[in-house]
Amino acid sequence: MDIQEVIDRLSQRFEGHIGNFEESYGLTTIQVRRAYIFEVIKYLKEDLSFNFLTDLCAIHFPDHEDEMRFAMVYHIHNLFENLRLRLRVFLPESDLEIDTMTPLFASANWQERETYDFFGVKFKGHPNLVRIMNMDEMEVFPMRKEFPMEDGGRVDKDDRFFGRTIHNE
């Protein structure tokens, strides 16, 4: 089995719900409609032996229109044939919700909590969707682009020493 065969079988099975096949940096990427992501990954795992969920995370595109402002990315690996695949799902900011992968991969548990913690994506059916890294009292999702990365409480920083003024004066 090679990656082309995987793509063919996927396109056959989920016609109309997946698309935008592209290859970048040697990794094939497929875009999937939100409602089908669980089925697609289930099929990949159970029928095509993609038995390892390498990573999952979110991306924020603040400039996109609402429908495509967030994306979920799944990296999935077939360890038998050494095939990798990247799946991408766009999510609207107004309805930031997607199925959890925990029934398929136990490892998705903490990764989804992390994604929730940093981006605020809600995972439907997750057994324990609470913050994992940041303080529980935190009210924002810090990896969203509108959130300033620097701590506002810092008083000792002189912009001249950080290359933020034109002539460093």
Partner 1 sequence: MSTKDTITLDGIPQQAQGQGYFLTSLDELVGMGRKNSLWPLPFATSCCGIEFMATMAAHYDLAQFGSERMSFSPRQADMLLVMGTIAKKMGPILRQVYTQMAEPKWVIAVGACATSGGIFDSYSVLQGIDKILPVDVYVPGCPPRPEQILEGIDKLRDLVHNEPLRRRNSPEYQQLLKSYGIDIK
Please report how close the Cβ of residue 83 comes to partner 1 at its closest, in angstroms: 36
Which of residues 124 and 157 has its CB atom nearest to partner 1 in the complex? Answer: 157
**Cβ 126 vs Cβ 112: under 8 Å:** yes
Which of residues 120 and 142 has its CB atom nearest to partner 1 in the complex? Answer: 142
Interface of this chain with partner 1, residues 108 to 137, rule: CB under 8 A: 133-135
Please report how close the Cβ of residue 156 comes to partner 1 at its closest, in angstroms: 6
Which of residues 3 and 132 has its CB atom nearest to partner 1 in the complex? Answer: 132
> Nearest Cα to 45, choosing from 98, 108, 89?
108
Point out which residues pair with 85 in neighbouring strands.
Answer: 76
**Cβ 96 vs Cβ 122: under 8 Å:** yes
The pair phi, psi for residue 11, each rounded to 5°, is -65, -35
For the chain, give me the number of helices (H) and strands (E)?
3, 7
What's the angle, vertex CA 57, arms to CA 54 and CA 63, rounded to 5?
145
Measured between alpha carbons, how far is 110 from 19 in angstroms, rounded to an integer?
28
- Binding-residue total with partner 1 (CB under 8 A): 13
Please report how close the Cβ of residue 123 comes to partner 1 at its closest, in angstroms: 22
Please report how close the Cβ of residue 115 comes to partner 1 at its closest, in angstroms: 16
Binding-site string for partner 1 from residue 134 to residue 163, where x marks contact by CB under 8 A and - marks none: xx------x----xxxxx-xx-xx------
Contacts to partner 1 by CB under 8 A: 133-135, 142, 147-151, 153-154, 156-157
